[in-house]
Amino acid sequence: MGYIQELRKIIGSRPIILTGVNIIVFNDRNEILLQRRTDTGDWGLIGGILELGESLEEAAHRELFEEAGLRTDYLKHITILSGADMYYRYPNGDEIYNVISVYETRNFIGEPCVNDDEGLEVKFFSMDKPIPEINGMTKKILYKSRYINW
């Protein structure tokens, strides 16, 4: 059982602060890689929550491989996002306030694929116009990180 699941057994669905990472992956056509999530069915960024003792960079590398089957030798740190607007409520009722370190990579190794049970598919999208079925938190992260203005 993971760290967060152990916490949830104790505190239930009450709001907690979680530190995590998102990786914005671009291909050579300047399209962004998104994952269709199993929990919500919408499209979200690659990323997740830190494990105990893990650095932000280690988490970014781990999540990139776990969720998209990709590796990289270069992650560019973009920003850290936190505060009341980083609140998220999961479909199961669990509430969190995210502290998110956002990274970018354009240099990845491998072909994007679903590599865990958190995703249904992975796909590149153009960011020239709004992406149908984009996760609200993903849209907020892309906007606050200055990648989109829609």
Please name each of the domains of the chain with its CATH number: 3-144 (3.90.79.10)
Please give the average per-residue pLDDT across 141-146, as a whole number: 96
Question: For tokens 């306030």, what's the residue?
Answer: 97
Question: For tokens 């929550």, what's the residue?
Answer: 49
pTM, entire model: 0.94
Nearest to 41 by CA among 114, 121, 96: 121
Digit-coded pLDDT (tens) for 17-56:
999 999 999 999 999 999 999 999 999 999 999 999 999 9
Tell me the CA distances in angstroms from 16 to 7, 48, 77, 118, 137, one per residue in order.
9, 15, 24, 21, 16
**Residue 107 CB neighbours (<10 A):** 12
Digit-coded pLDDT (tens) for 91-102:
899 999 999 999
pLDDT above 90 as % of the chain: 93
